[in-house]
Amino acid sequence: MWRMKVLGIESSCDETACAIVEDGHKILSNVVATQIPFHQAYKGVVPEIASRKHAEWILPVVKQALEQSGLSLADVDAIAATNRPGLMGALLVGLSFGKTLAWASGKPFFAVNHMLGHMYAAHLENDISYPYLGLLVSGGHSIIAKVNDFDSLEILGTTIDDSVGEAFDKVSKYYDLGYPGGVIIDKLAQKGDPKAFSFPIPKIDKKGDHRYDVSFSGLKTAVIHQADAFLNAGYEKTVENIAASFQETACRTLVSRLMRAVEDTGLTTVVAGGGVAANSRLRAMLAEHKEVTCIFPSLKLCGDNGAMIAGVAYHFLKRGETSPLNTTACARIPQFKRGLSNLEAFGRR
Tell me the whole-structure pTM to 2 decimals. 0.93
**335 has a pLDDT exceeding 90:** no
Which residues are paired to 283 by β-bridges? Answer: none
Instruction: Classify burial at 228, counting beta carbons within 10 Å of its beta carbon; exposed 0-12, middle 13-18, buried 19 or more.
Output: exposed
pLDDT of residue 343: 46
Q: What is the pLDDT of residues 4-56, one digit of tens each?
A: 999 999 999 999 999 999 999 999 999 999 998 999 888 889 999 999 999 99
What 8-state DSSP symbol labels residue 75? G
- Which residues is 295 bridged to in the sheet? 271
Question: 164-174 and 217-225 helices cross at what angle (nearest 10)?
Answer: 10
Give which of 263, 251, 60 is closest to 156, Cα–Cα: 263
Put the strands of the sheet holding 269-273 in their side by side order: 152-158, 142-149, 132-137, 269-273, 293-295
Over residues 226-279, the pLDDT tens digits come to: 999 999 999 999 999 999 999 999 999 999 999 999 999 999 999 999 999 999
> For 91-108, what is each residue's pLDDT tens digit?
999 999 999 999 999 999
Amino acid 207: pLDDT: 67
Peptide bond into 47 cis (omega under 30): no
Q: How many CB atoms lie within 10 A of CB 104?
A: 10
**Which residues touch 94 (CB under 8 Å, ≥6 apart)?**
9, 10, 11, 12, 16, 54, 58, 81, 82
DSSP 121: G
Whether residue 215 has pLDDT greater than 60 = yes
The pLDDT score that the predictor gives to residue 3 is 87
